[in-house]
């Protein structure tokens, strides 16, 4: 592995690199957040891995032929055994896997094999790239570097070659809406909430995360949309993924899992209130959230779920809960957050960790399997990358995956995004609707600046 200092300091200076097919940005642009230090751009991958159902295809750089495999688990276990060093304690990503898993990809996991969730027509369940060429921006050190691992192909890659790539880009065409944004009406949303409340009363579940989809026609470059989003809503777990068939923009504040050495941590979010339009109102909203018995109970249920999930892959007696109901503030909302951590068992791989935790309990409900079954019955549209995950697994064994909330995706000249809330026994449909809208506000505020009119902004 070779690292070379670069003069660039900002993501915008690499636009032409990001516009290349299969470039991926993992963006920790919120410099005030305790978990934000490095942002990464993976480009020109060594190989691309695409998963659809139980079929895996892999294409290598410079090779037209595809390799095909059956069996998602066997493929990724073998991949981890070949490329991932479990013994390292490094925190920085220096190359490895970058990509996404859709919410529906859970159907390949043993707990959910019985499900037949909505199909994401034309969109893979997962795309992972193996990246041996990475730009790393160190926000705390104000440094930028090119990281290259030449030993995989024996083909050197230099700063001179990078500079040639940076000259090849196109102008980043403005992103504009070509229609209204179509989404749920309150009355239809209320019917869904009332259905869940009835299921809870009948003992089917304790909590269900209920989401709905918005969509609109667009024109232009989704990268322009992402750059506007990150200016409006800085994020500790943001991402932009530029694939030929879909472009994904995420400003997620939620961590599914991180791994440094043998330490695993997950940070579920439950409890949301909008930011106030004055210092006084903002403080009152904070206090209301911190004193909310409902929101604390909701988070406590998910913490218990995540603790059980971690125990599946952690050494006995090592799983613990840190801050239980910590308040964290973001550009448009305040959240309650908890820390759950443990020590990875020597017999488990990073893929085993994903299988144990995915999808995150905060975006399904409790108990997880039954809540997922109920979501499948109630929600009409596929979630795709929303509430799936985006992130990286390093050659050095580090791992960081977000839960893909506050996330849009562009496909076939349509842009889609979702919002959702956790419904529990004492949920009030009108209050849940207000939280639902507050969570979408960061996306709305950016889309509102483009052409088109917003519908059902509530």
Give CA–CA dist 33/29, Å, rounded.
9
H or E segment at 329?
A: strand 326-329
Distances 454 to 24, 54, 107, 196, 248 between C-alpha atoms, Å: 29, 39, 34, 28, 21
Total residues found in the chain within this entry: 458
Q: How many CB atoms sit inside 10 A of residue 448's CB?
A: 14
Name the DSSP class of 29.
Answer: -
Indicate which CATH number applies to the domain containing 263.
3.60.120.10
Answer yes or no: is 457 within a domain. no
pLDDT the model gives residue 457:
44
Does some domain include residue 455?
Answer: no
List the chain residues with pLDDT less than 50: 452, 454, 456-458
Query: Could you tell me if residue 332 is inside a domain?
Result: yes
Question: How is 103-170 classified by DSSP, letter by letter?
Answer: GGGGGGSGGGTT--PPP-TTS-SEEEEEESEEEEEETTTTEEEEEE-GGGTT----HHHHHHHHTSPP
In a domain, 150, yes or no: yes
Instruction: Tell me which residue range forms the domain holding 300.
Output: 2-167+175-447
CB 384: neighbour CB atoms within 10 A?
27
User: Does the residue 23 lie in any domain?
Assistant: yes
Q: What is the pLDDT of residue 169?
A: 74
In a domain, 151, yes or no: yes
| pLDDT one-digit tens code per residue, 297-342 | 999 999 999 999 999 999 999 999 998 899 988 877 889 999 999 9
Residue 239 lies in a domain: yes
147, 136 Cβ separation under 8 angstroms: yes
Least Cα distance to 360 among 439, 297, 266 occurs for: 266
- As a whole number of angstroms, the distance between CA 14 and CA 343 comes to 37
pLDDT of residue 271: 85
pTM for this entry: 0.95
The pairs formed by 188-193 with CB atoms below 8 angstroms and a separation of 24 or more are: 189/429, 189/432, 189/433, 189/436, 190/429, 190/430, 190/433, 192/378, 193/423, 193/427, 193/429, 193/432
> Do 205 and 367 touch, CB atoms closer than 8 A?
yes
- Per the structure, the count of domains in the chain is 1
Q: Would 29 be classed as within a structural domain?
A: yes
């Amino acid at each position: 592995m070779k690292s070379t200092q670069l003069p660039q300091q900002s993501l915008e200076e690499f636009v032409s690199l990001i516009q290349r097919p299969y470039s991926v940005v993992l963006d920790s642009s919120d410099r005030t957040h305790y978990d934000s230090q490095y942002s990464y751009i993976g480009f020109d991958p060594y190989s691309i891995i695409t998963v659809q159902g139980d079929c895996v295809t892999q294409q290598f750089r410079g090779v037209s032929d595809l390799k095909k495999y059956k069996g998602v688990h066997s493929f990724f276990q073998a991949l981890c055994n070949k490329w991932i060093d479990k013994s390292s304690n490094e925190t920085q990503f220096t190359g490895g896997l970058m990509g996404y898993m859709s919410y529906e990809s859970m159907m390949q996991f043993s707990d959910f094999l019985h499900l037949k969730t909505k199909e994401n027509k034309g969109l893979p369940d997962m795309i992972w790239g193996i990246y041996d060429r990475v730009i790393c921006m160190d926000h705390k050190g104000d440094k930028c570097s090119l990281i290259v691992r030449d030993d995989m192909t024996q083909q050197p890659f230099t700063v001179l070659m990078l500079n040639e790539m940076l000259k090849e880009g196109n102008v980043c065409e403005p992103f504009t809406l070509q229609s209204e944004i179509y989404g749920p009406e309150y009355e239809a949303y209320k019917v869904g909430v009332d259905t869940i409340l009835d299921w809870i009363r009948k003992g089917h579940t304790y909590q269900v995360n209920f989401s709905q989809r918005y969509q609109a026609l667009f024109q232009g470059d989704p990268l322009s949309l992402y750059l506007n989003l990150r200016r409006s809503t800085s994020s500790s777990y943001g991402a932009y993924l530029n694939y030929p068939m879909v472009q994904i923009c995420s400003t997620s504040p939620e961590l599914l899992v991180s791994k440094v050495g043998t330490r695993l941590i997950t940070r579920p979010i439950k409890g949301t209130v909008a930011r106030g339009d004055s210092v006084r109102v903002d403080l009152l909203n904070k206090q209301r959230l911190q004193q909310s018995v409902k929101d604390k109970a909701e988070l406590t249920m998910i913490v218990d779920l995540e603790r059980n999930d971690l125990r599946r892959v952690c050494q006995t007696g090592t799983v613990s809960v840190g801050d239980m109901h910590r308040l964290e503030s973001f550009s448009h909302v305040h959240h309650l957050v908890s820390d759950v951590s443990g020590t990875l068992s020597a017999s488990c791989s990073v893929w085993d960790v994903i299988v144990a935790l995915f999808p995150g309990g905060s975006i399904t409900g409790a108990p997880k399997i039954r809540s997922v079954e109920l979501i499948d019955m109630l929600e009409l549209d596929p979630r795709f990358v929303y509430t799936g995950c985006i992130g990286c697994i390093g050659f050095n064994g580090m791992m960081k995956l977000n839960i893909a909330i506050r996330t849009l995706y562009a496909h076939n000249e349509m842009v889609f995004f979702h919002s959702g809330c956790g419904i529990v026994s004492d949920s009030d449909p009108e209050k849940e609707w207000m939280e639902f809208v507050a969570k979408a506000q960061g996306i709305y505020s950016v889309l509102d600046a483009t052409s088109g009119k917003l519908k059902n902004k509530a």
